[in-house]
Chain A
Amino acid sequence: METADHDLWVGRSMRRLEDPALVRGEGRYVADVAAGSPTARFIRSPYASGRIISVDGPVFSIVDLDADGVGEIESVLHRPDFLKVSQPLLARDRVRYVGEPIAVVVGRTPEEAEDLADEVIIDIEPDDDELVHGDVASTNTVVDGRFSTPDFDATMQSADHVISLTMTSHRQAALPLETRGASAHFDRSSGRLTMHASVQSPHVLRTALSDLLHVPEADIRVVAGDVGGAFGQKLPLAREDVVVAWLARRLRGTVSWIEDRTENLTSSWHSRDQQYVLSGAFAADGRLLALDAEIECDVGAWSCYPITWAAEPLMAMGELPGPYAFSDYRVRSVGTASHTCPVAPYRGVSRPSMTAALERLLDSAAKEIGVSPIEIRRRNLVTTFPYTSPTGVVHDEGSYLQAMDLAVERFDFEKFRERQANARKVADSGLGPLLGVGVSTFAERTGYGTPVFAQRSMGVTPGFENVEMAIDPSGFVHVRIGASPHGQGLETALTQIVADQLSVDTDTIRIIHGDTDRTPYGWGTFASRSVVICGGAVQIAAAKMRDRLAEVAADVLEANPSDIVFSAGRASVAGTSVGRPISELARIAHHRTGELRPETIKGLSVVAGYDPAGTFSNACHIAEVEVDPETGSVRVKRFLVIEDAGTLINPMIAEGQIRGGVTQGIANALFEEVVYEDDNILTASMLDYLPPTATEIPDIEIGHLHTITDATITGAKGLGEGGTIGAPAAILNAVSDAISHLGLAVNELPATPDRIRALIRGREGQ
């Protein structure tokens, strides 16, 4: 944790404003709103593929939705290789994955809803149709991205070393602590629909409800109160949310749905079901000259709105080159539909697996070429900025090399190699764990707005954020934002920005979010964007507000606005003691406007927007692991992060983001795996899906660098996903290092004890 050495709020580890209510158990989640209301329960497919013969029982099905003219979800990407499908809100004619919602019942209580669901008889004729959308497509390929630099072939042929590997990333689930859920209320008096939902983008949900239910957006209010984690899983539109809204209107009352954990594990969104086949062309000195990549992403049975099912493959294609400077790149990245739960962005979006693949490639090359993992990265990291990648992605200035140098210095490799050698001697006698160390370096693209999303040709282009700011007559600052934090501490961070800009106390600031009736249209919180984009908009708005206050103060103090300075809640004439508290100026601006010049705008309200092109933060992760060669189990002994996210608005919150991300990265590396067998999901409960507990996670050591660029107006770079991006690579490299003396390496996520043991067993048999 860092402390500020100045009077500003930005840079202080201020305690989170969000936490007191949460730790008292007084948060307001959807389930708190839903308590006591009629409950919907979905009847889901037990088959991966089949034809629906009949649905009998006290249910609503697609027939009822069709009768009401309810629309279908269409996520659009304007690319010739993109497969567009139209998704009914409940299965029509066919089921396409285990867990797909077919029908819905409504009971007075959750118990009654489950009893009613038991009475429903659904007749499905299962089949093994290989095509997931055979009605509209003759292929399961949903996107087929290709890219090559002109000199790729020549560069590959000229290389001294070509190193290849296949990296398999098994499927993972985001697993938010709070599952999805919605509580919709139709108000008979006003005809309005109020929808409390556990989502990341309340405004986008409002638009989707309007489009699908044919209700004016003006008559829909979406509220995302406290949201207990999302990690991307609550970004795409949930079919269930729309059905619940439709039910509330149909039944002219309240209907709620709280997803249970089995539904969350089987029917919410999955991610990271990917394979990377890489070949790197290296010069004799270890410089990477060219990279060839074949990427396959299993995207499940349906696309996701509005991001689309091309999100993972195209992210992988565009950003695989990472933090390394090389000029030639050829890639083919294919998204394939399957009879499994649909895939959507999860914290990191392809980057955890692509970074694992590339970082394993670098370590493999280092071993082959005979340089250290540190040295091969030193020879390849980008050091000249701005840097444009082979795919045209522009990196603003970062500290790629400095972050690694600092991490390496803190880790102390020399001492570690001694301990590792000793451990190997002991392990040779069969009685002790092996030790390994792994490094990963990466750059994290964050805070990107319309300029980047527009390049993706999405039918819906997210990006900007707007802020409405007002000071009320009592001097309190109302900040209405379109971002929608769900655990990140954004209220606190934005409060710090406003407090500095207006020189007011933090307890006079209210950040208002997650309610479409009270906030300007925005895109919500995802993609490590909110501090950068919404924070930028807040800073612009606050500067405008300061100008407005200066005008009011100038009138009252008979001075020029340019001579007004702000300090400790007062506006004063520079160089004098003549001034007024901002709270008094606020009262004057509303109630005593006669004291102002006629041309001065009355009241205190401003709007501002921000829509930047994005910025790269960067980090180096180092993991030390212990591998038990007899059981194959891995214990993370030490985890070190050196992160550069520019200006840290609140270092404590930044470090919380890093720790949470690294924890999910360790989960990805060693524990969590969604398992299907013949398209039947085996990991349908917490008995079989294994997130690590506190016992499995080490203390995470963090250090910061601060490269400030003009890519963002606050100086802050996003860092919400970095932990998940770098950790799997560092762990895989560490495990591979631990078993390298056996001639082994592990290129599979997660590296489960069973898999590691299988590698070692294979070696023992020789």
Chain B
Amino acid sequence: MNMKNGKVAACAAVVVMAASLHAGAALAADLVISNWDGYMAKDIAESFKQATGLEIEVVNHGTNEEIMGKIMAGQGRGYDVVFVSSPFAEVLNAQGLLEPLDKAAIPNLANLYPEAANLAYDPGNAFSVPYAWGTSGLCYRSDKVSATPDSWMSLLQPADDLKGKTTMLSTDRWLMGAGLLAKGYSVNEADPTKINEARDLLIEAKKTLLAYDDTTFYAKLTSGEASLVHAWDGWCNYGIAENKDIKFVVPKEGSDLWVDTMVVMKNSENKENAMKFLNFILDGKNHAWAAENILYKVPNKAAMESLPAELGEQYPNMKMPPAELVKYELLRDLGAAQKDYSRAVSEIKAAN
């Protein structure tokens, strides 16, 4: 290869790349959906097209916070349906960024458990459809703990053999939630003195903690690096799948109820298609996919009843009935108290 050929080849490569620079913008699907990677069936586009004839494009986001920031900064333009957790859906609605649901177009709403159709942040599903729900609690190695953990204090003030072998969720609401619940307060507590009490408890707990971990805590359990972790129920199941000694328990003080929802953007240009998509997901067969593959409970009666019995045997928290789940406290947007939570979390993270 001489110099000239090299230069020609390089120029050609740049031209080819320039072509794909613009290819991005041109493609127009009938519907753009943003979701966490792996949260829907891989063949969702094909099966949806078969059912409705519509092309969908699925894009991914990593966290609620990121997609939320992006929607606020860009007014949600370009997106039709977005998956976010309920406090975020609540805020998006308060900001006027969500389209009210056209219930006539979503007859499958009838598949939802009555409890799921009446959640306090959106009674009657005016602007959001619940996709999955669950709680958080303690996920532990039953072969490595001397006493079965049953309280938030088992995590916050662990027995000697568990010191340095516990992890906690670091996302602000759940981190604070553990402290608030241990003190007997609400997960949405707005009283600054109570928030500070929880903060002090959590700063103390930091001393016995291995790490704050939102993403790999179940791997820490399987490797044996940790023995007791603060976990979302569905994620604990990923640990259980690898090791049968891993168990999940909701502490006796109670816990939170989290809901992942689907919402339609006000700026969407494909609202009709968006409603069709919500209806498609709510179909018992389609919604069951999430329960079976993600191991999250779904608020869809038809879907849950279609699940094989073994699933509940292997992952006992999948059997938790809706009536029990909704007894836990629903996470709500904090409004003005958000500032106090942020500051408390910063103090915890900055403490030695």
A and B: bona fide binding partners = no
Residues of chain B whose beta carbon lies under 8 Å from any beta carbon of chain A: none
